[in-house]
Amino acid sequence: MTANDKREILVFAEQRKGKVHPVTIELLGKAIELSNRLPLMVSSVLMGRDVQGEAQELIYYGAKKVYLFEDSSLYSYDPILYKTNIVALTKEINPYAILFGSTHIGRSLAPRVAASLRTGLTADCTNLSIDEDGAFIQIRPAFTGNILAHIKTKTSPSMSTVRYKVMQRAKRDEKREGTIVKMTPLPNDPSWEVIDERVIEGINLPDAEVIVSGGRGLKRAEDFKMLEELAKLLGGVVGSSRPLVDEGWIGKEHQVGFSGNTVKPKLYIACGISGSPQHLAGMRDSEMIVAINSDPSAPIFRYADMGIIGDIYEIIPKMIEKLKRR
Amino acid sequence: MNIIVLTKVVPDIERVKFDAARGVVDRSSAPQEINPFDLNAIEEAVRLKERHGGRITAISMGPSDVEQTLKDTIARGVDEAILLTDKKFAGSDTLATSYALSQAIKSTGDFDIVICGEKTVDGDTGQVGGEVSEWLGISYLPYTSKLDYEDGKFKARVELENIIYEVEASPPLLVSVTKDINTPRLPGFREKLNARKAQVKKMDAEGIEADEGRLGFNGSPTWVYKIEVPEEGQRDCKIYKDPESGLKEIMIMLESRDLI
């Protein structure tokens, strides 16, 4: 088999405002790993306006081929325009698999592409592999994260959306070479008219290096201020378990867990969090986990590296004081 | 306005047990309910009807024992509830499910809008809405947190994490709504009573004129071949009962890891 015969593993490079989303680099990292198990060629598809620079970056991150669709109509996301072009490309190159980030764009675009191709799609995967028979294996948490389902696809290509912040990023290397293939976008009417597009400046939990999270041990919504002060001193942000988000004490963008954000910061401090399976599913891969809880039997202690049994209302102010004194 | 709502009866996910030996959710271990995310879809449909008139049809797929639970959609303001139920639907993944639902939608005649929730609490894929819209060949507005109808067009706020689009699109279309779009009202006593007397319309594979090769296990390209109870990811936790010594060790750890 020559290099040209290799089937492709195609990574959808999601861009927002002309910048490629970091989940794309994680998908490339995984695709490179898989391409060593089967002879596969890592390729990527990028749509947007004036994104040649980003296409080159994708090559530095390991794509051997970047299919570049440039048109002003592709600057903003349009599920139908994006779908139409990806489906046409897929029919031309017949890839082995297509990977999307499990972002709002990926999770809304991939179903349109999959249904159009009449192929299988697995949502929100946390691992991908290839077995001895060359079959694509997709692993995803199910049943609120208590079990892992291993899923195969009977049709081709296999398609997956992959959770952000679980795969290793590809390494950037300017010596890498690849081809940018300029594609002609298919003419099509937009499916919606974007009247206004704005970016909200909020916290970005998955990208935070330090997270101080509160759970049911908090007595009042105002007490998040105490966690915020601690988080600020550590250069971090505030997270929350689901009950407090449901209570309306803090916004959903702060929620850590199965139905919220998956995070793996350098430091995760769980304050008054018992550690339900749903919460653990969103944070157990953090590098260092510190738990503070008055209940010695709280499951969080079994998943933490360091734990203090005690009252968060006594311990957190002391910790704030110690940090301020430095 | 002809409004379709997609809904699913699910087990109460906080209470349901998993049968690890058989690799399936033990549905008998917890009471059934309407998928919590669908309550926002139903509420949004009712709000559209209140402002613009029309008719709301709820479509669901599942075993016949979900019929009683489905009546809750009628108590909440749905005019007609349809249940797709047939052994031929068993084993459906999202592609087969979305095909059956799209056939059922077509069988109800013309419609302006299909509304669904962001995802179900049991399957948790969030894929069915998008796939239904593709089978129907209509526009798809995902992650919608605000919806209006004016001058023959739907106006919606689509949330792509930190990027917010205000969009306009013409019917027919499919909208998947977020939990933030509204606060579902609780049905009143009289509505509940009336719903109990209402009929749920049942339809089978033939009734929706389905291509049988696209249904159930045969129509499902994905299959779960293995279930794994994950390694718990437990760590060897150093526990301090004395806060002072615990904090001291934490400060040392923070320094050694360059976190302060």
pLDDT tens by residue, B45-74: 999 999 999 999 999 999 999 999 999 999
Q: Does B13 score more than 90 pLDDT?
A: no
pTM recorded for the entire structure: 0.91
pLDDT tens by residue, B130-165: 999 999 999 999 999 999 999 999 999 999 998 999
Contact B168, B149 (CB under 8 A): no
Query: How much is the pLDDT for B218?
Result: 96
**Torsion region of B104: left, alpha or beta (phi above 0 gives left; psi -120 to 50 gives alpha):** alpha
Q: Which two tokens stand for residue B70?
A: 């489905």
- With CB atoms and an 8 Å threshold, state whether A104 touches B159: yes
pLDDT-above-70 percentage for chain B: 99
Which residues of chain A lie closer than 8 angstroms to B259, CB-CB? 210, 234, 266-267
Contact A76, A95 (CB under 8 A): no
User: For chain B, what is the domain count?
Assistant: 1
* Torsion from C-alpha of B175, B178, B182, B187, nearest 10 degrees: 80
Q: Burial level of A3, CB count in 10 A (0-12/13-18/19+)?
A: exposed
Q: Does A293 count as an annotated binding residue?
A: yes
Window 208-227 of A: residues touching B by CB (8 A cutoff) are 210
Q: Does A278 count as an annotated binding residue?
A: yes
The Cβ of residue B39 has, within 10 Å, a number of other Cβ atoms equal to 22
Q: Is residue B177 part of a domain?
A: yes
Choose the closest CB to B18 out of A115, A147, A303.
A147
**Torsion region of B53: left, alpha or beta (phi above 0 gives left; psi -120 to 50 gives alpha):** left
Q: Does A277 count as an annotated binding residue?
A: yes
- With CB atoms and an 8 Å threshold, state whether A148 touches B227: yes
Query: How much is the pLDDT for A105?
Result: 98
Q: Does A259 count as an annotated binding residue?
A: yes
Q: Burial level of B121, CB count in 10 A (0-12/13-18/19+)?
A: buried
The Cβ of residue A103 has, within 10 Å, a number of other Cβ atoms equal to 20
- With CB atoms and an 8 Å threshold, state whether B142 touches A79: yes
Q: Does A2 score more than 70 pLDDT?
A: no
Name the residue type at position A105.
I
Would you identify the CATH topology of the domain A3-183? Rossmann fold (3.40.50)
Q: Does A15 count as an annotated binding residue?
A: no
Q: Does A140 count as an annotated binding residue?
A: no
Residue A209's alpha-carbon distances to A238, A286, B233, in angstroms, are 11, 9, 20
Q: Which of B222, B242, B255 to mutate to test the interface with A (most CBs of A within 10 A)?
A: B222
Rounded distance between C-alpha atoms, residue A311 and residue A293, angstroms:
6
Q: Is residue B100 part of a domain?
A: yes
Q: Does B258 score more than 70 pLDDT?
A: yes
Contact A303, A270 (CB under 8 A): no
Choose the closest CB to A114 out of B95, B143, B224.
B95
Which residues of chain B lie closer than 8 angstroms to A267, CB-CB? 254, 257, 259
Closest of B148, B92, B105, B154 to residue B7, by C-alpha: B105
Shortest Cα distance, chain A CAs vs residue B242, angstroms = 7
Residue ranges of domains in chain A = 3-183, 205-325
The Cβ of residue A146 has, within 10 Å, a number of other Cβ atoms equal to 17
Rounded distance between C-alpha atoms, residue A290 and residue B161, angstroms:
28
Q: Please state the φ and ψ torsions of residue A3, each to the nearest 5 degrees.
A: -55, -35
Q: Where are the alpha helices (DSSP H) in A36-186?
A: 52-60, 79-93, 104-117
Q: Which of A143, A153, A283, A285 to mutate to test the interface with B (most CBs of B within 10 A)?
A: A143
Q: Does A158 count as an annotated binding residue?
A: no
Helix (H) or strand (E) holding A268: strand A267-271
Helix (H) or strand (E) holding A318: helix A312-325
Q: Does A203 score more than 90 pLDDT?
A: no
Q: Does A311 count as an annotated binding residue?
A: yes
Query: How much is the pLDDT for A4?
Result: 56
Rounded distance between C-alpha atoms, residue A135 and residue A155, angstroms:
11
User: Region A122-143: what's the mean pLDDT?
Assistant: 94
Which residues of chain B lie closer than 8 angstroms to A148, CB-CB? 227-230
Would you identify the CATH topology of the domain A205-325? Rossmann fold (3.40.50)
Q: Is residue B259 part of a domain?
A: no
Residues spanned by the domain of B197: 2-214
pLDDT-above-90 percentage for chain A: 86
pLDDT tens by residue, A138-187: 999 887 777 889 999 999 999 999 999 889 999 999 999 999 999 999 98
- With CB atoms and an 8 Å threshold, state whether B247 touches A315: yes
Counting one residue from A and one from B, how many pairs have CB atoms under 8 Å apart?
236
pLDDT tens by residue, B198-244: 999 999 999 999 999 999 999 999 999 998 887 667 899 999 999 99
Shortest Cα distance, chain B CAs vs residue A2, angstroms = 30
Q: Which two tokens stand for residue B133?
A: 């819209």
Helix (H) or strand (E) holding A21: none
Rounded distance between C-alpha atoms, residue B70 and residue B12, angstroms:
14
Rounded distance between C-alpha atoms, residue A14 and residue A22, angstroms:
9
- With CB atoms and an 8 Å threshold, state whether B239 touches A197: no
Any residues with CB less than 8 A from the CB of B257 and at least 6 apart, and which? A266, A267, A288
Rounded distance between C-alpha atoms, residue A97 and residue A27, angstroms:
12
Name the residue type at position A161.
T
Q: Is residue B231 part of a domain?
A: no
Buried b (16+ CB within 10 A) or exposed e, A248-257: ebbebbbbbb
Q: Which two tokens stand for residue A152?
A: 């195969």
- Residue of chain B minimizing CA distance to A252: B180
- With CB atoms and an 8 Å threshold, state whether B241 touches A146: no
User: Region A76-83: what's the mean pLDDT?
Assistant: 97
- With CB atoms and an 8 Å threshold, state whether B163 touches A198: yes
**Torsion region of B62: left, alpha or beta (phi above 0 gives left; psi -120 to 50 gives alpha):** left
Window 255-294 of A: residues touching B by CB (8 A cutoff) are 266-267, 280, 284-285, 288-291
Shortest Cα distance, chain A CAs vs residue B60, angstroms = 19
Query: How much is the pLDDT for B157?
Result: 98
Q: Burial level of A11, CB count in 10 A (0-12/13-18/19+)?
A: buried
Rounded distance between C-alpha atoms, residue B172 and residue A273, angstroms:
46
Name the residue type at position A9.
I
User: Region A288-293: what's the mean pLDDT?
Assistant: 98
CATH number at residue B52: 3.40.50.620
Rounded distance between C-alpha atoms, residue A110 and residue A242, angstroms:
27
Query: How much is the pLDDT for A322?
Result: 95
- Interface membership of A82 toward B (CB under 8 Å): no
Contact B223, A156 (CB under 8 A): no
Query: How much is the pLDDT for B28?
Result: 85
Confidence grade of residue B170 (pLDDT, cut at 50, 70, 90): very high
Q: Which two tokens stand for residue A318?
A: 């002391």
Q: What is the mean pLDDT of chain A?
A: 94
Which residues of chain A lie closer than 8 angstroms to B131, CB-CB? 111-112, 114-115, 121
Query: How much is the pLDDT for B88?
Result: 98
Rounded distance between C-alpha atoms, residue A305 and residue B25, angstroms:
32
Q: Does A260 score more than 80 pLDDT?
A: yes
Window 145-164 of A: residues touching B by CB (8 A cutoff) are 146-155
Q: Does A17 score more than 70 pLDDT?
A: yes
- With CB atoms and an 8 Å threshold, state whether A111 touches B93: no
Q: Which of A308, A320, A322 to mutate to test the interface with B (most CBs of B within 10 A)?
A: A308
Rounded distance between C-alpha atoms, residue A118 and residue A146, angstroms:
30
User: Region A280-309: what's the mean pLDDT?
Assistant: 95
Largest CA distance in chain B: 71
Question: Which DSSP state fits A261?
Answer: B
pLDDT tens by residue, A28-77: 999 999 999 999 999 999 999 999 999 999 999 999 999 999 999 999 99
Tell me the DSSP string of chain B. Answer: -EEEEE--EEE-TTT-EEETTTTEEEGGGS-EEE-HHHHHHHHHHHHHHHHH--EEEEEEES-GGGHHHHHHHHHTT-SEEEEE--GGGTT--HHHHHHHHHHHHHHT---SEEEEES--TTT----HHHHHHHHHT-EEEEEEEEEEEETTEEEEEEEETTEEEEEEEPSSEEEEE-GGG--PPPPPHHHHHHHHHSPEEEE-TTTTT--GGGSTTTT-SEEEEEEE---------EEESSHHHHHHHHHHHHHHTT--
Q: Which of B250, B251, B252 to mutate to test the interface with A (most CBs of A within 10 A)?
A: B250
Q: Does A76 count as an annotated binding residue?
A: no
Shortest Cα distance, chain B CAs vs residue A222, angstroms = 22
Q: What is the mean pLDDT of chain B?
A: 95
Query: How much is the pLDDT for B234?
Result: 85
Shortest Cα distance, chain A CAs vs residue B149, angstroms = 14
Choose the closest CB to B18 out of A122, A146, A304.
A146
Query: How much is the pLDDT for A169?
Result: 95
The Cβ of residue A298 has, within 10 Å, a number of other Cβ atoms equal to 22
Confidence grade of residue A1 (pLDDT, cut at 50, 70, 90): very low
pLDDT-above-70 percentage for chain A: 99
Shortest Cα distance, chain A CAs vs residue B197, angstroms = 34
Q: Is residue B15 part of a domain?
A: yes
- With CB atoms and an 8 Å threshold, state whether B237 touches A305: yes
